[in-house]
Amino acid sequence: MTHFGQLIYSVLFLFIATACSGKKTILLTGGAGFIGSHTCLELLRTGEYKVVVIDNLINSSEESLRRVAELTGGEPIDFHKVDLLDYKALVQVLLKYQSSSSSQSEIFGVIHFAGLKAVGESWEKPLNYYDNNITGTLNLLRAMKECGNISRIVFSSSATVYGDTTQIPVPETCKLAPVSPYASTKAFIEQIIQDVVKQSPTKMQSVILRYFNPVGADISGRIGEDPRGIPNNLMPFVAQVAVGKLPFLSIFGKDYPTADGTCIRDYIHVTDLALGHVAALKRLERDSDLTESPRVLIVNLGTGSGTSVREMRDTFASINNITVPYKFVERRAGDAARVIAQVDKAKKELNWEAKLGLDRMCQDLWRWQSNNPSGFNKAGSNKKQSAANLKPIISHTLRVAASGILSKTLITGNLSGELNRGNLWKKWRKGAGRITAASESNGFKAL
């Protein structure tokens, strides 16, 4: 056995006996999507939560959840293919988690990701966006009240609510000026949640997260962004050009008032963003009151640093030693020259800040795209992990553990999930029969 293998086994033996009980149940709407699946993964990695996912799979895949379960060593995920517009089906799901002995729900809180999200498409189909995003949220809030008084909700909002602001960096107090129908739905939903929380007799609480430009993928390369059709966002577009699915990258405009003439955005690694959602849940868990009345906290999630479109393309090409051809095309309507988050509030209120830089964003994105050139439709990667490939995963696990978010239980679960796909795990499980059964089942349960 190598020294590296001995280290892995020692870590597993050290923490295997600390499996926690009394986990809190979290409902994720849209939990099979890009940000939802990464948040699902990070929630399970803490070892403190059970996860229930609702998703209509219009823009996502069940395969993402199967891989999340695989990555966490068989942590259970209850998945329900349900559209939030189907109120009856939504209620039927939530009633499954309502206590038979009381009126309270087993669900501790909700993270609401579900919604249509393409800015350009929202101009073409505004009625679809208003109906899906707003009506879906209204149904969710009603069902939360009727099915056990679920009182905590974290909402996935967007920096697009700020519009083409001149305040740089953008504070949470910036006047909202949404430009697209998509952005307008986010702003409306924010107000709806604030009004509902204010009038709630059950002391509802909410954290509204306005995040900037999510990129990257989980360090394992097993889950990532899998857009349908031509990508709407920069980095999936870059990655698909790099893998040969698209001939070149279109850069919209080269005459903006920036150093290289291209737009500047605040790019944030999706893993950091997912951990921001975990931090928001812990904020609701920790405090009975929030600093903003009435019981709603609005927080930007970004890095506080800006990077131009051309800089992102160049960094991706350089760090991965790959060619990404590009062409300049006309500006897109509504694109602001520069948008960067003010992040002080996230540090103060959530004890959270982004840790992963541009190099990691680009490396992790390419690992995902090169191993899965067709996304979740075809598994393009070898599932077996060598000791060398496990090193960045272990590094990530220990980094998050040091931040206080990851529990001992999930250090075990995360590493065992990785080892389960390689020879090291075969040796390990000979002496650890107690966890073999849980690990051999992928934990994914579609209901």
Residues known to be catalytic: 182
- Rg, the chain, Cα only: 21
Burial of 330 (0-12, 13-18, 19+ CB in 10 A): exposed
Identify which of 252, 255, 253, 231 has the alpha carbon closest to the alpha carbon of residue 243: 231
Separation between Cα atoms, residue 86 and residue 136, nearest integer Å = 8
Query: Cβ(292)–Cβ(283) under 8 Å?
Result: no
Residue 153: both structure tokens together: 């909700």
Which three-class secondary structure state does DSSP give residue 181? helix
Query: Cβ(141)–Cβ(192) under 8 Å?
Result: yes
- Classify strands 307-308 and 264-265 as parallel, antiparallel or unpaired: antiparallel
Residue 193: both structure tokens together: 């949640």
Separation between Cα atoms, residue 108 and residue 338, nearest integer Å = 38
Give the torsion through C-alpha atoms of 373, 378, 381, 383, to 10 deg.
160
Say how many CA atoms lie within 13 Å of 264 toward its Cβ.
20
Q: Where are the beta strands (DSSP E) in 38-172?
A: 49-55, 77-81, 107-112, 152-158
Which three-class secondary structure state does DSSP give residue 232? coil
Sign of CA dihedral 172, 176, 178, 184: positive
Question: Which residues are bridge partners to 98 per DSSP?
Answer: 105
Residue 369: both structure tokens together: 């795209």
Q: How far is CA 186 from the centre of its chain?
A: 17
Query: Cβ(399)–Cβ(355) under 8 Å?
Result: yes
Query: Cβ(28)–Cβ(79) under 8 Å?
Result: no
Distance set, CA 349 to CA 144, 284, 286, 341 (Å): 25, 11, 11, 15
